[in-house]
Amino acid sequence: MHRFLWLLVMGALVGTPVVFGQSQPQLTPRQMIESADRNDDGRIDRVEFLMQMTDVFYLVDPDKDGSITVAEYRQIIPGADAKRLQVADRNKDGKVSLDEFRKAIAQDFDVADRNDDGVLDAGEIEIFLRAR
């Protein structure tokens, strides 16, 4: 499970200058929420999560061809396990489309939303990150 766990962290970095390949800063669950919380309620709902992760998808797709390949994935996250990407590749064409990506991360949202209320709070994010 947790195919795209790292994307929650990367999503918090969208809009922040980051040099990929270097050590990524550790972000708190509160910082992650602040980066995606578009209605300022202190939580991330499913729509906010999917919007943030769509931004991340385009960040990870440097050639902007609408798909993420294993090479692109590893370029952004050196040493990353390609199995995560392969599981999300439902049609087994060697790349993950935005649709495949969104389906995979929607499952992560469901896992993180421990009380099934449709939003992620700091406690749920912290538990989710520890479980990886």
| CATH for 43 | 1.10.238.10
In a domain, 15, yes or no: no
In a domain, 84, yes or no: yes
- pLDDT-based confidence at 52, cuts 50/70/90? confident
Q: Which two tokens stand for residue 126?
A: 């912290």
Between 85 and 12, the higher pLDDT residue: 85
In a domain, 114, yes or no: yes
Distance CA 53, CA 47 (A): 10
Residue range(s) defining the domain that contains residue 63: 5-10+28-130
- pLDDT-based confidence at 7, cuts 50/70/90? low
**What is the count of structural domains for the chain?**
1
In a domain, 20, yes or no: no
In a domain, 17, yes or no: no
